[in-house]
Chains A and B, each alone.
Chain A
Amino acid sequence: MVSKTAFEGKVEYWQVLDENGVADKKMEPKLSDAQLKAMYEHMVLCRLFDRKAVSLQRQGRMYTYAPMEGQEAAQVGAMHALGPDDVVFPTYRDHGTYLVRNAPIEQLFEYWMGFEEGLAMPQGVNVFPLSITVGNHLPMAAGMAWGMKLKKHAKLAMVCFGDGATSEGDFHEAFNFSSVHKTPLVLLCQNNHWAISVPLNKQMASQTVAQKALAYGAWGIQVDGNDVLAVYAAVKKARERALKGEGPTLVECLTYRMTMHTTADDPKKYRTDAEVEPWKKRDPLLRFEAYLSARKIFTPEYKQQVEQAAVQRIEAAVKTAEGFSAAPETMFDFVYEQKPWNLAEQRDAFLKGD
């Protein structure tokens, strides 16, 4: 009889900033003051955009919306570790991907107000249309990453998803495909502990999401997802691996969905306030502010100035979005490049009111 260990693996956990914002000097990424400020400003923009969106929905000025509060560090940290040409595949909760890439904020509101035009991003944003169905964008991201490799382009694809999406076949199929072909793909899992009402321990029996990478012969790492510097460091490392041809990396960001799944959801049905409470102390913004304060970058005046600037941009965007209108008949225009006879006839009939 032969009995031996056929496989052994481990998963690292990274945290740069502790809960008080004190940096581990050995792990602290080398970032300039300007870079750190840009990260902070994006996190503030995310927080205020998100709160505005929820408030618009509550006032009946916008339709159903999926809030991102609590996940600012994960999204902003990851986005800052990418190059501008790297293509990002977000979900409905990843508003930060668009905001970091300087997408027109009014377009984000327009999308959530029910206009297709909102997703028509200007050149250079390099964000794929967000995925509403869960996990279905992972194989597409793997494919685009493969294309980048085939064309020898020095860039990668990053796909964002949550803990729930790892239960979908598409996650496993995409990850395996990407590993086999060593495609330059970053799988950014924001483990926010809840898939609508289903908690993590009902979603999976594995101890971590990151360990799933081992099954695909890839690198997986778990980071404190409320620590913007840890996320940045992990994605930066994942990017280096991808561009060296070492294949995909799964970065699991441990974070928390602070509010509802969407504005149509009521978390009081399935979770207690006591569970949410400890996460308030782990707020990614507070922690980063403490760090920036120690680095003499952050002051109350600076904070006020950043928030004011963000509010101005957001309010201007809301105004533009609320004034936006579009011809209904464009629904016929983007189905195909050339309209077949049926669509051409239907469009004409529509315009005639038939």
Chain B
Amino acid sequence: MSEKTLIAAINEALRQEMERDPMVLVMGEDVGVDGGVFRATDGLHAKFGEDRAIDTPLAESAIVGAAIGLAAYGFRPVAEIQFAGFIYPAINQLFNHAARLRMRSQGQFTCPLVVRAPCSGGIRALEHHSESMEALYAHVAGLKVVIPSTPYDAKGLLVQSIREPDPVIFLEPSKYYRAFKQEVPDELYAIPLGEAVIRQEGSDVTLVSWGSMAKPSLQAAADSGKSVEVIDLRTISPWDRDLVLQSVRKTGRLVIAHEAPITGGFGAEIAACVAQEAMYDLKGPILRVGGYDVPMPLARREDYYIPSPQRIAKALQKACEA
């Protein structure tokens, strides 16, 4: 056990999984010699060589497409996409192929692939570096979608993602890469996908959030003056419906916060599901807090765009008025 940042936890998960299983490899732009632009793969090239920490040409579609081919041939590739908004050339490979390979071959070919990418804003990065697109991936059947918000979760969820039999989109809030440290076991452990976690128990209102909104949510809960049950979803697809319903049945109120644009965000799916399953347990309307329906702005406006603890706290208070 030692204190680690989220990026160190990811690096450790990759290294230990590569040690455990010779079929695991990492690939992408600058992941080899350079160790990745955020240093997620630091040291892997030196330890495992260029055939397992692979510097690819600058071609996202080929990175993901080749990773699908490797996965279908028995490897466990972990492909890195450098920045959140750089993934789109690979969307065709992800949506039309990675997600459907099992079905199209009726189980003959599978795609045990992880695509890692940073997500969300808050680090004053350049354009196309700060998007929160989890709802897009969650909309595609055949993909699993994971977003850790702590070093402990990052390691355990990445280990499990590598061991999953199906493709996983693993989104890492870049704001948390080095923002704080947490005790993380030195040995390997896996956290099952699809399990949310209660960060703080409460009785007035349930607050569901994930990824970059984890910290602002805890802050908002503290500032709201209400007894807030804070849930970190951790896996977006499949999401932990049971835990959310159980909490809402207890509190009778629900606020969902995500950094992604509000329209069509994953909060809409959660709200619809809770309205359907727990209508008569609700004491008031379900509220959502999200980014605005605008493209992620440049550095000077990102703090105006990203939901603040104040916005979330207001929603918590408003939910409790009902």
Q: Show the binding face of A for B, using Cβ within 8 Å.
A: 63-64, 92, 111, 113-116, 132-136, 164-165, 167-170, 195-198, 202-204, 262, 264-265, 269-270, 326, 328, 331-332, 335, 342-343, 346, 350, 354
Contacts and interface: CB of A to CB of B under 8 A. Distances in A.
A92 B92 CA distance: 26
10 contacts: A114-B301, A116-B301, A164-B58, A195-B29, A197-B32, A198-B58, A269-B33, A335-B295, A346-B292, A354-B311
Nearest to B85: A133
B139 interface: no
A343 B293 contact: yes
Contact of A198 (B57, B88, B302, B314): B57
Given A115-B298, A164-B58, A132 B127 contact: yes
Nearest to B36: A197
Contact of B292 (A165, A264, A331): A331
Q: Say whether chain B's binding surface is mostly helix, strand, loop, or mixed.
A: loop
Contacts of B273: none
Contacts of B29: 195-196, 198
Interface in B288-322: 292-295, 297-302, 304-305, 311, 314
B34 interface: yes
A242 B117 CA distance: 40
A132 B126 contact: yes
Contacts of B37: 196, 264-265
Contacts of B311: 354
B160 interface: no
A269 B129 CA distance: 22
Contacts of A342: 262-263, 293
B268 to A, nearest CB: 13
Interface of B: 29-30, 32-35, 37, 55, 57-62, 85-86, 88-89, 124-129, 262-263, 292-295, 297-302, 304-305, 311, 314
Nearest to A330: B301
A120 B70 CA distance: 45
Contact of A202 (B55, B129, B262, B314): B55
Contacts of A335: 293-295
A133 B128 contact: yes
Nearest to B124: A63
Contact of B126 (A64, A169, A332): A64
B30 A63 contact: no
A332 B124 CA distance: 19
A131 B86 CA distance: 12
B130 to A, nearest CB: 11
Contacts of B125: 63-64
A346 B293 contact: yes
B292 A350 contact: yes
Contacts of A136: 89
B196 to A, nearest CB: 28
A350 B307 CA distance: 11
A64 B124 contact: yes
Contacts of A115: 298, 300
Given A64-B125, A133-B85, A332 B292 contact: yes
A114 B55 contact: no
Contacts, number: 107
Contact of A168 (B59, B126, B293, B300): B59
A134 B128 CA distance: 11
A197 B34 contact: yes
Contacts of A354: 311, 314
B89 A332 contact: no
A-B residue pairs, 6 tightest by C-beta: A114-B299, A197-B34, A167-B57, A114-B300, A164-B58, A328-B304
Contacts of B302: 114
Most B CB atoms within 10 A — which of A133, A165, A354? Answer: A133
A338 B262 CA distance: 19
Contacts of B262: 342, 346
Given A264-B37, A270-B33, A354-B314, A167 B294 contact: no
Contacts of A64: 124-126
Contacts of A343: 292-294
B281 to A, nearest CB: 27
Contact of B300 (A113, A264, A265): A113
A63 B126 contact: yes
B312 to A, nearest CB: 12
Most A CB atoms within 10 A — which of B30, B57, B129, B262? Answer: B57
Contacts of A165: 58
B55 to A, nearest CB: 5
B55 A197 contact: yes
B233 to A, nearest CB: 24
A332 B294 contact: yes
B123 to A, nearest CB: 9
A328 B294 contact: no
A262 B129 CA distance: 14
A169 B55 contact: no
Given A63-B299, A204-B57, A346-B292, A198 B304 contact: no
Contacts of A170: 89
Contacts of B299: 63, 113-114
Contacts of A135: 58
Given A197-B33, A198-B55, A331 B297 contact: yes
Given A170-B89, A196-B37, A264-B37, A116 B297 contact: yes
Given A167-B57, A168-B58, A342-B263, A198 B30 contact: yes
Contacts of B61: 168-169
Contacts of B263: 342
Contacts of A111: 298
A169 B34 CA distance: 24
Nearest to A168: B59
A136 B89 CA distance: 9
B80 to A, nearest CB: 12
A203 B58 contact: yes
